[in-house]
Amino acid sequence: MVDSNKNKIDKLPDKFDVDLTPFKNFMQQMDSFFQQSFNQMNSFLNLRPFKTHVYETTSDIIVEAELPHYKREQIHIEVIGKRLRIAVEEQAITEEKDDINHYYRKSQSQQYLERFVTLPFEIPEHETKATFNKGLLKITIPKNNSNTTYLNID
């Protein structure tokens, strides 16, 4: 039995020499298809999800949210322990009246979107600052209260 297994091993190629380019191209096409489909679905349903970007400086964690179509009154920020919640709410009411054809139409829509950002430390509510300028919400969270400890690797 050992000899038959050894013969099988000897017949295997030395390297895994397969061209994966077609598979890679297929995966890129699938990603593109789903990305375009979701973008079209968002525009069809009038959804405008907002993008967030989180980065850190030496003293702060910065959370930025792109909210170009919203007003300050539509934005809600909440601190829940280690989590930051950014929510936006939009309501629209349209009315149409035609005295000639005797009809009246009124439609209402409401949209509510939110994002959560979780940090590795409790967010200090009173020291955290938020600004909203030209559609960009910027939240600055100081890191001075974090109890972060780095471990040495042996």
Mind listing the pLDDT tens digit for each residue in 90-116?
A: 888 888 888 888 888 888 888 888 899
Residues 76 and 133 in one domain: yes
Residue range(s) defining the domain that contains residue 58 = 50-147
Contacts of 25 (CB under 8 A, 6+ apart): none
Residues 70 and 31 in one domain: no
pTM, whole model, 2 decimals? 0.59
Name the token pair of 50: 């907002």
Tell me which DSSP letter residue 79 carries.
E
Share of the chain above pLDDT 90, in %: 32
Decide: 137 and 62 in contact? Cβ < 8 Å.
Answer: no
Residues 37 and 74 in one domain: no
Q: For 13, left (φ over 0), alpha (ψ -120 to 50), or beta?
A: beta
Nearest to 83 by CA among 56, 123, 129, 52: 123
Residue 13 lies in a domain: no
The lowest-confidence range among 5-19, 20-34, 49-63, 66-80 is 5-19
Helix H or strand E segment including 131: strand 129-133
Residue 90 pLDDT: 83
Decide: 98 and 26 in contact? Cβ < 8 Å.
Answer: no
Rg (CA), the chain: 27
Q: In CATH, what number is assigned to the domain containing residue 121?
A: 2.60.40.790
